[in-house]
Structure 1
Amino acid sequence: MKDGVQAWGVGRNFSSREEDVVALVDVSLSLTWGQFVVVQGPSGCGKSTLLNLLGLLDRPSVGRLNIAGVPVHELSEGGRARLRRAEIGYLFQDAGLIERMRAIDNVEAPLAYRGVPRGQRRATAEAALRELGLSHRLRALTDTLSGGERQRVGLARILAQRPRLIICDEPTASLDEANSRLVAARLMQLAEEGALVVCASHDPIVIELAQRRIELSHGRLKTIADGPP
């Protein structure tokens, strides 16, 4: 099995009529499957930019990036999309749910893109939602869900997919302590089961679980350390 994620000299620039913005500069790192990695730094330091590159939601301006042994900087858009579907799951602060769709349909959607038969994906989605205490909300529309319920639906989508790379951007920022602990603990369990979880967070509940910490400052890699602070 090819190991995790490697980046060599990765950077990202954004240009507009008004200015050129250097969001990320010369980041090199190596992350392995089975790690819970927390990305830290002040607002505007490049955390979300790094997550977008690692999650194949954006392309680096310079540098090389491998995921599961695949040189993704060389892939076409179609190749990147196939790798995203096969290997990557996402959990964002707003859960990233499709509005006006039922909870169970949100969980099923990524499985449909993978070509999972309807009966199998329905059973998988129901099991993931029940595991997170949402058996009574399977058919609830997303706009009727509380913030904690929305985030648990987003987490259920990951449980149903079982991706090897999980990208999280402030996944507990809008949650109370109980839901924050539930989400953080389940992400940690997924790492223990072999996934690579990369999570940008200011939340002490998440940070205390870190097996590795990446700290960014002004778009540059400041430190990489093992364990919580």
Structure 2
Amino acid sequence: MIDFLNEIVQYVNDYFAYVAQYQSEIWKAIGETFVMVGISIAAAIILGLPVGTLLYLCRKGQLYENALMFSVLNGAVNIIRSFPFLLLVVIMIPVTRMLVGTSIGTLAAAVPLSVVAVAYYSRLVEQSLLDVPKEVTVTASSMGASTLQLIFKFLYVEARSGLVLGLTTSTISFISYSTVMGIVGGGGVGDFAIRYGYQRFETEIMVFTIIIMVILVQSIQFTGNLLSRLLDKR
């Protein structure tokens, strides 16, 4: 039994010694993933939240019903979300080059990822706001609340738990999308796993990157769930 445990310890030591050879590349890949996902999260909050709110306010039966506005926004969101992500990345290369001056690199990879982030999160925002009881908007209107007051003091307050969970789900999806950004030289953990683990047949590296992704996703999900519970006052 002792010999068996010693063998396990030795194997673990050898494994981490092997992986340590790539520590600089691993940290670089993690940093690239954080940059891409961080930019996409910012885009989701800055643009996706307002778009989702407009979808809610302009849909049929809501306070600011507007069929034309809803159709335009709803159609745009559906079209973006229906695109296979890799095809969207390729199609957006001219737009990416125009916005950031290049179509290759981490910053360039963040552009199509941000577009998907806005469409993805806006739909989740709409769904969260639809869960807010109709009486909330009626009460806000009867109190003479302005549009901004309705949104920030009533809708967002009531839907804050769902909004946090939606952002958590979105963030995990963005991490998943970021793993294929090596197609435009975006780097990241997924690209590192493919280049070193798959193409070089280094299974140890592949397993280690999977462990990193699992830990990252579980940490985000745990944090999101915790914040959602703290914000849920129902």
Higher relative contact order (CA 8 A, sep 6+): 1
Who wins on radius of gyration, i.e. which is larger? Answer: 2
Task: Give the TM-score taking structure 1 as reference length.
Answer: 0.26
More helix by share: 2
